[in-house]
Chain A
Amino acid sequence: DTEVTQTPKHLVMGMTNKKSLKCEQHMGHRAMYWYKQKAKKPPELMFVYSYEKLSINESVPSRFSPECPNSSLLNLHLHALQPEDSALYLCASSQAGAEVDTGELFFGEGSRLTVL
């Protein structure tokens, strides 16, 4: 079983909807990440939180809004998405506070998002 839990596993939403993706880890990791993965492509980094503060934003459109309520939880709020935003959204965590220093990223199984 994965130690990073993502919900929901599947989400279908319209372009005017507001929804959220959730991620939880209980490994005591201090860095958490959101990645976007299109079919047959590698994951692309979106955001990094280090010690509950946003440390990296890879120029992601504002219709994606991350939130880290505490060190175990990471949310991704979605609003006014486009069909091209349909993808697998992966959450990850690591022990270190900076992505560059990570020994190992632990990934969740992902949330598969479809925007109609």
Chain B
Amino acid sequence: GIQVEQSPPDLILQEGANSTLRCNFSDSVNNLQWFHQNPWGQLINLFYIPSGTKQNGRLSATTVATERYSLLYISSSQTTDSGVYFCAVTGNTPLVFGKGTRLSVIA
């Protein structure tokens, strides 16, 4: 099945800093989503981005499907950005999640 690798596994940022999270996947995909699991455990959909670039406020994402990777950019990070960021992909299988990047933003 599809393998999804996320890096880095852990990231600590000072409030106001920028960061880039990476997601590599092993096969062609029809769907790629980025999620944020907040400290309360809720899984929030950030982007549906099988290809191209999208922006939503301080967050943006780029997927290069031909090279099998996606990037999530967080600019001017805030403490409320803390949590785990998951990348999930699907080809002909149900959505497969990576292990996540745990982000801690400190004031």
Q: Tell me, yes or no, whether A binds B.
A: no
